Structure 1
């Protein structure tokens, strides 16, 4: 199984979610993690044990309506459920044996983004691809001097 594509999928998910403005982004992600909790309900292989997990994930998703931390926790819980299904249960996609493993790799990427507060990634991506005025992509203009000190422009030395 390709281990890179689930990471890329997680990054794309976060980028697409960044198109949604707050607070709708947080609420939409709470619904997504609630749905992820029910992903194995129709045949995950753990029988009646699937129900308590869905109930708990529903609670976590409800708390996620007002908290990015709970959404991140929900994705990490789903990661553990993915690992359990990969090792002992049925895959999330019955026609793709390693689909639960892929989901277990993708979900922590999303969880990390959520635990950071689900920030918009659009502006950083635009800055990354925007050409620099000096032609050097790593050039960042120095901040203007404030207060009684002035910046002399060499090796970060401030003179008074």
Structure 2
């Protein structure tokens, strides 16, 4: 399994989410973490214990509608659930043995972004992609002085 690709997926997720304006970005991410909490329902690897986990993540997602912190907590809860499923041998994608482990690597990347308040990453990427235009060291721009009142 490649350990780098889940990290890249998490970063790409955060970049794509940055295209959504606030407060819609926070609310959309609350819905996403709520959906992630129900991802294992069809596999039922932990039997009836899947239901309390879904209820917990639904509550955390609901609180996430108004709080990035709760969204981050939701992704960390999902990380723990991913690891439990990976260790039990019941992956999120039955045809991909390491899918839960990959998810457990990706989710903390998203959680860290959420715990930082889900800031837009578009502006820093634009600055990184565009080389800065520095003025020639010998060149100085005239700064406008303070506005003067004319006595009269």
Smaller-chain TM-score bracket: 0.7 to 0.9
Q: Does 1:121 align with 2:112?
A: no
Larger RCO (CA under 8 A, 6+ residues apart): 2
Match of 2:111 in 1: 111
1:59-74 equivalences under 5 Å are 59-74=59-74
Q: For structure 1, which runs of at least 5 residues remain unmatched after alignment?
A: 136-160
The CA deviation string for residues 22-41 of structure 1, in whole angstroms up to 9 with x for no partner, is 00000000000000000000
Cα deviations across residues 7-31 of structure 1 (Å, max 9, x unaligned)? 0000000000000000000000000
Distance 2:109 2:8 in 1: 9
Question: Using the alignment, how far apart are the partners of 2:85 and 2:122 within structure 1?
Answer: 34
Equivalent residue number for residue 146 of structure 2 = none
Q: What's the CA shift for 1:89?
A: 4.4
TM-score when scaled to structure 1?
0.83
Contact 2:26 2:65 in 1 (8 A): yes
Shift, 1:116, TM fit: 0.1
Deviations 1:93-148 (A, max 9, x none): 1110000000000000000000000000000000011112139xxxxxxxxxxxxx
- Corresponding residue pairs, total: 135
Residue 49, structure 1, aligned to residue 53, structure 2? no
Distance 2:106 2:5 in 1: 8
Residues 46-65 of structure 1: CA distance to partner in whole angstroms, max 9, x if unpaired? 11000000000000000000
Q: Deviations over 1:71-107 (max 9, x none)?
A: 0000000000000000014100111000000000000
What is the distance in 2 between the residues matched to 1:133 and 1:56? 50
Residue 6 of structure 2 aligns with which residue? 6
Alignment of 1:5-154 (within 5 A): 5-134=5-134
| Structure 2 unmatched runs, 5+ | 136-152
